[in-house]
Structure 1
């Protein structure tokens, strides 16, 4: 049996190793599109901080690991899949056969459509190449503009702050981490970042990036200027974009593999075509908790999906019914959590508690007597209780009214009501 895996990130590597353990004699080919040893993108911020060296980002530290496991590695970008002929073609003209195929191509940054975005000194923070460029430019005291304050943006922000740069964050939405936090929570995170010395502009767009040159055509000392929608101009030595990602599925056109945002898979991680599977940031699976298909761009989810797919590729039966969501974020030491339907539901009730001085915040969203969503900041002792109450849809009865009066009584409410599950 020939197993071909497109993508050598965490999902691809875990799948290859799982196949080898369960099919000792099968052939395994792992194709990556970067000329680097397989590495974790989640480790790149730690590389920027200086906490690890490049080798610390490698998924397997032993350079002979894949050779010893008889996992063949190739580097190239796949341009076409032919499911009928069971062949994969890469951009350099190479063609590879397969009996079972796993697509684990991950995602790529979405760069904003603004003039000057392709100027030298403008980078995303997604690849090892990006990280090397950022390390060169983000020296202590350098002026850095970060575009985007979502989940990924906040992780990159922390890494840049650790390099002692003069950092400004620009977010087009009205708050930080807008896909996880409501207005009150996002405002508090902004205040925390500003307290830490970071300038934050919300409800503001970068409309253009200019390259500053001297009369002789050479770059000036501060080579970039970001022009903002509010009229301000930010001089920068480096601009980093963290404005979202999209699944790498464009090469699947004409293959017959069904996609929505990502590659649609069933609970076995198989696509609509027999013998072809997908896992990780490019896969869109059904989540029982939310009742819809979703892409969960977190490494633990990629690992679970890859393991499931690999078992099925070797003839076993495995199923993945849940997609883990990002629900906790540490922003420069301030821990925030977002669970369930944190935006609330139509006709639902809610309660909000805010202690700006101590950076503690809690908002609870109810549907009748069930807690359906929450935002919490600086209240880590309540995180597991919030997650369980929401996930298991525990009926609170009279405790709902008590929580509306005092939302910090979560543990008492859980103790009183969890026994009725």
Structure 2
């Protein structure tokens, strides 16, 4: 049996290792489209700060790790899948046959239609090659303009600020982190960043990038402002890397559509990680949730299915925890609320603290926090456990800070997720 894995990120690596554990005699091929050993993109900000070297981003530290597991590595990028013929064609023309296929191609940066995006000094922050280019220009005092203040943008911003640059951030949305935070929380994060010396432009977009004096760039914003920059970073979001699946017969929506076993509509072809649109039994819909815990869970489920030991994905975790220049914010589940639901918010502007809880009937379905980390485990337990709160729902509507009491009164007795109890013991 030949297992072909497209993508050498966390999902691809974990799947390959899981297959080898359960199918010691099977052939495994891992295809990666970058020259470096498999690495974690989430480690790139630490590389930019200087906390680690490039080797510190590698997913596996031993040079012979994959060879020792008899996992063949191929460098290339998929350009076409023939699902019926069971072959994948790479961009260099090489064809790879398979018996079982895992699509773990991850995401790629969104490329906005902005004139000048190809000029020297305009970078994304997605690969190790990008990180090298950014490090060369982001020297102390350099003028850096970042497009995008979403989750990825805020992580990059943290690293840039620590490099001592003069940082400006332009966000098309009306607030920072608009896909993770409501208005009150997003505006609070903006004020925090401005107090740290970051120039923040919300509700604005970059209209053009032009050559400036010397190696500098001129960046034109909607509204008429023109900013000078030594480096422009595009961090306006990512999308699942699924373009090569066109006309393949594999169904894609936003990502590769899978069932609860991470199998696509084509038997023997699976997907996992940032490119997968998996069914979430909690919300009753398919979700692309591009966070590493999901990649790991989905990879294991897919790998077990590929070796004939099918299991079911229990949940598509919708959790984001973000450190923005020292201010911690979180979102869980359906943080925007659900039709017919109820909500409560508590905001302390002076102390940069915010809490928002969303309910459907007597179940906590989502929440946002800024500057409040004491109930993270409790919130995850209540949201993912779909814990009926009974009369405690109304008590939380009156005082949302009583989350721990609500958990102890309801979740523990029903045998739900125990992380909050573990948190309480620490």
TM-score bin (small chain): over 0.9
Q: TM-score, normalised by structure 2?
A: 0.93
Deviation digits for residues 123-159 of structure 1 (CA, Å, limit 9, x no counterpart): 1111111111001111111000111111111111111
Deviation (angstroms), 1:110: 0.2
1:192–1:274 Cα change, 3 Å: same
Deviation (angstroms), 1:113: 1.2
Taking the aligned partners of 1:329 and 1:323, their CA distance within structure 2 comes to 19
1:237–1:289 Cα change, 3 Å: same
Equivalent in the alignment of 1:256: 249
Asked whether the equivalents of residues 247 and 282 of structure 1 are also in contact (C-alpha less than 8 Å), the reply is: yes
Equivalent in the alignment of 1:137: 137
Equivalent position SS for 1:52: coil
- Write the mapping of 1:3-402 to structure 2, written as runs, cut at 5 A: 3-213=3-213, 220-221=214-215, 223-402=216-395
Deviation (angstroms), 1:368: 4.3
1:276–1:164 Cα change, 3 Å: same
Asked whether the equivalents of residues 319 and 333 of structure 2 are also in contact (C-alpha less than 8 Å), the reply is: no
Equivalent position SS for 2:279: strand
Structure 2 gap ranges (5+): 415-426
Deviation (angstroms), 1:23: 1.6
1:274–1:332 Cα change, 3 Å: same
Deviation digits for residues 363-402 of structure 1 (CA, Å, limit 9, x no counterpart): 2233444433322111111222223333334444444443
Taking the aligned partners of 2:32 and 2:334, their CA distance within structure 1 comes to 37
Asked whether the equivalents of residues 115 and 209 of structure 2 are also in contact (C-alpha less than 8 Å), the reply is: yes
Equivalent in the alignment of 1:413: 406
RMSD (CA atoms): 1.7
1:18–1:417 Cα change, 3 Å: closer
1:71–1:344 Cα change, 3 Å: closer
Deviation digits for residues 201-233 of structure 1 (CA, Å, limit 9, x no counterpart): 1111111111115xxxxxx15x11111112211
1:414–1:10 Cα change, 3 Å: closer
Deviation (angstroms), 1:420: 6.7
Equivalent in the alignment of 2:424: none
More displaced 10-residue stretch of structure 1: 381-390 or 135-144: 381-390
Taking the aligned partners of 1:399 and 1:18, their CA distance within structure 2 comes to 42
Deviation (angstroms), 1:333: 1.5
Asked whether the equivalents of residues 286 and 321 of structure 1 are also in contact (C-alpha less than 8 Å), the reply is: no
Q: What is the number of equivalent residue pairs in this alignment?
A: 414
Asked whether the equivalents of residues 318 and 333 of structure 2 are also in contact (C-alpha less than 8 Å), the reply is: no
1:351–1:27 Cα change, 3 Å: closer
Deviation (angstroms), 1:21: 1.7
Equivalent position SS for 1:337: strand
